[in-house]
Amino acid sequence: MRFDELARSYERLEATSKRLEMRAILVELIRPIRPPDLAHVLYLSQGMLRPEYEGVELGVADSLARRAVATATHAEEADVGRRAKASGDLGTTAAELLAGRPRLETAHPLTVANVYAELTAIAQAKGEGSQEVKVRTLVDLLGRASPLEGKFLVRFVLGTLRVGVREMTILDALAEAFADGSKAARTRIEAAFNLSSDLGLVAGALVEHGLDGLASIGLEVGRPIRPMLAEREPTLAAVLERMGGTAALEFKYDGLRVQAHVPKSGPVRLFSRRLEEISAQFPELVADLPSAIRERPAIVEGECVPVDADTGDIQPFQLVSKRRGRKYDLDKAQTELPVRLFLFDVLLAAGTPTYSEPFPARRERLESIVRPNEHVAIAEQRVVASVDEATAFLDEAISAGGEGVMAKSVKEGSAYRAGARGYWWIKYKRDYTVGLADSIDGVVVGAFHGRGRRAGKYGAFLLAVYNPERDRFETFTKVGSGFDDAQLAEMPKRLAKFESSEPPPEVDTGISPDRWMRPHLVIEVRGAELTLSPIHRAAVGAIRAGAGLALRFPRFTGRFRDDKGPTEATTSKELLEMYRLQVRQEAADPPDGADAAG
Ligand code: ATP
């Protein structure tokens, strides 16, 4: 496949923000493609070279890309810099410069295979001399590129490709391009993706063996599974009712979710909730898991929490977040901020998948294969059948340092549902009993200049929730409170890469911030209550025509949700559910109870 076909499709994708149109363009693009190009096109279109969990990065800084553009177009580097500053996008500048340069007649047109191979070489160049290799490879590619191709190549290497196709849209397109486009087909394709986290792999199996071929995609040690997620209920009585009167309650530990892949021999790999590999951050878990798990290869899931080195007591979450992303002083961190992994599920044991077994069978298996040690334990659990029993267990969980309980269905159908949020698991935190107590994970889509003490900095941020049905980020609040000076100073750095001169097409809002941000950074906020708003667009029209949901008195909790990608933020549907719970709660509470919500 020629690369210019892909570039032309990107141009069309960029020009639309309608999901149906995007899907149609994608279907047209991918239908004629076969492996291995197919997988490569899908990864490239998401701005990646490999499935996200592999964490492959190109390692191309702005300055390096500028140098490559200057060399390839025989321009002065300083001039390239000036032009890119004016256009706000080095890709656009590269296209302009390439347009003014005579193209080699003899050059072969770029193919997707060439581009993919060269980009892979750029990613693989490591160590001494690697910068030169990266520049040279990029110069070669740009030397053969048309202006349009050059624009997208530059954006790709800088990580600023803005075609905006996310997984959900690609899954739709796969169902239409390679199956009958029905809901049933879409569901089967998504299920294969949830188990493998690899769209290229799923697309390949689908094209070569049809929908039935997807059954061949199973679990593999080292390839993360998309996590099963929980719903909420406002009271323990409601939790039990949902569960049919009986449920397995577990301590809800407040830490980092970890999916551990433990091979028969060889290194253990740990993945975060958003499937990033975090093995390097927790060497003690990597070291202790093999002896703690009897039947390997195994895939187990748990929550990693900080514990007191002397007493073994659970410590506040903030301590474990310090261990994330930490590259230095790992030895020091291990002794100063010790952690323990509380396992709550098993998806593969002795090489055989267990995820489709009902939860009680999985729990039994978990108990039989785990030999607890200093760093590995099993989540506390009790099966309860009354509100009194449930309340007593909740009290135990809270006093042991948990933040509430996780209720798990013990019914026949209680298989592990990868990538799905449902009432098979229900989270209940103690503070749900007062008004809107749960926090919301919002995506930053804009920023406002500060005034007074915050002059010259950002003073507030526009936040959105994610709507997977529309594949849009719908705003629900503008938050300025709760940031300390250090956090506020950190925001421009965290956001710099995502600034956008135009409103990003995937953002839906009635407000214009001073600066738009492409959806990336997720932060946790709390607020007094959810209300209806004419300017915010979260779940717009669900309660009243033209009105979206908005959070009153929002406050940043201090927690950056680096373990969540933008599409894993709170969803519009969840926000709507929270709004409804709050309305029910108000109806049930005496007036002074409602006051406590502020
Ligand atoms: P979500 O994961 O539902 O999007 P979130 O990341 O904001 O939401 P919470 O709302 O606090 O997290 O609750 C869900 C999380 O609780 C799980 O993803 C998991 O990390 C954690 N957790 C703690 N204890 C357990 C347990 N016993 N069983 C399952 N999950 C648990």
Residue 251 covered by a domain: yes
Q: pLDDT higher for 281 or 593?
A: 281
Kindly report the backbone phi and psi dihedral angles of residue 436, in degrees, each rounded to the nearest multiple of 5, phi listed first: -85, 90
With CA atoms as reference, report the closest residue to 447 among 466, 464, 468, 471. 464
| Residue found by looking up tokens 């070279």 in the block | 49
CATH number for 517: 2.40.50.140
CB atoms < 10 A from the CB of 147, how many? 17
CB atoms < 10 A from the CB of 113, how many? 14
SS3 452: helix
- Looking at the structure, do residues 178 and 260 belong to the same domain, yes or no? no
- Looking at the structure, do residues 429 and 444 belong to the same domain, yes or no? no
Separation of alpha carbons 197 and 53, rounded Å: 8
For 6, left (φ over 0), alpha (ψ -120 to 50), or beta? alpha
Q: Which residues contact 25 (CB under 8 A, 6 or more apart)?
A: 9, 12, 13, 16
Q: What is the pLDDT of residues 234-277, one digit of tens each?
A: 899 999 999 999 999 999 999 999 999 999 999 999 999 999 99
- Looking at the structure, do residues 328 and 415 belong to the same domain, yes or no? yes
Separation of alpha carbons 498 and 495, rounded Å: 5
CATH number for 29: 1.10.3260.10
Catalytic residue (one of 252, 408, 427, 429) = 252
Residue 302 covered by a domain: yes
- Looking at the structure, do residues 319 and 375 belong to the same domain, yes or no? yes
- Looking at the structure, do residues 313 and 183 belong to the same domain, yes or no? no
- Looking at the structure, do residues 346 and 294 belong to the same domain, yes or no? yes
pLDDT score for 432:
45
> What are the CA-CA distances from residue 10 to residues 34, 152, 464 (Å)?
19, 8, 25
- Looking at the structure, do residues 153 and 173 belong to the same domain, yes or no? no
Residue 595 covered by a domain: no
- Looking at the structure, do residues 55 and 80 belong to the same domain, yes or no? yes
Q: What is the pLDDT of residues 373-414, one digit of tens each?
A: 999 999 999 999 999 999 989 988 887 888 899 999 999 999
> Which atom of ligand 1 is closest in space to residue 524's alpha carbon?
7
Residue 598 covered by a domain: no
Residue 485 covered by a domain: yes
Q: Among residues 400, 433, 466, which one ends one of the domains?
A: 433
Any ligand 1 atom below 6 A from CB of 257: yes
**Does residue 510 carry a pLDDT above 90?**
yes
Q: Return the structure tokens found at 201.
A: 């792999």
Domain enclosing residue 70, as ranges: 3-158
Residue 65 covered by a domain: yes
Q: Among residues 158, 183, 199, which one ends one of the domains?
A: 158
pLDDT score for 325:
58
- Looking at the structure, do residues 202 and 328 belong to the same domain, yes or no? no
- Looking at the structure, do residues 253 and 139 belong to the same domain, yes or no? no
Output the CA 7–ligand 1 centroid distance in Å: 40
> Which atom of ligand 1 is closest in space to residue 232's alpha carbon?
10
Residue 247 covered by a domain: yes
Q: How would residue 138 be classed by pLDDT, with cut points 50, 70 and 90?
A: very high
Burial of 172 (0-12, 13-18, 19+ CB in 10 A): buried
Q: Which residues contact 547 (CB under 8 A, 6 or more apart)?
A: 532, 533, 534, 540, 541
- Could you give the number of structural domains in the chain? 4
> 148-157, 186-195, 331-340, 391-400: lowest mean pLDDT where?
331-340
To the query of whether residue 564 is one of the catalytic residues in this protein, the response is no
Pairing outcome for strands 440-449 and 458-467: antiparallel
> In the beta sheet, which residues pair with residue 428?
405
Residue 593 covered by a domain: no
With CA atoms as reference, report the closest residue to 195 among 162, 169, 227. 227
Q: What is the pLDDT of residues 443-484, one digit of tens each?
A: 999 999 987 778 888 989 999 999 999 899 999 999 988 898
Any ligand 1 atom below 6 A from CB of 37: no
- Looking at the structure, do residues 139 and 211 belong to the same domain, yes or no? no
CATH number for 423: 3.30.470.30
Output the CA 405–ligand 1 centroid distance in Å: 10
How many residues appear in the chain?
A: 598
Output the CA 63–ligand 1 centroid distance in Å: 40
Q: How would residue 583 be classed by pLDDT, with cut points 50, 70 and 90?
A: low
> 4-13, 312-321, 391-400: lowest mean pLDDT where?
312-321
SS3 113: helix
Output the CA 557–ligand 1 centroid distance in Å: 17
The top-scoring range by mean pLDDT among 312-326, 405-419, 433-447 is 405-419
- Looking at the structure, do residues 11 and 152 belong to the same domain, yes or no? yes
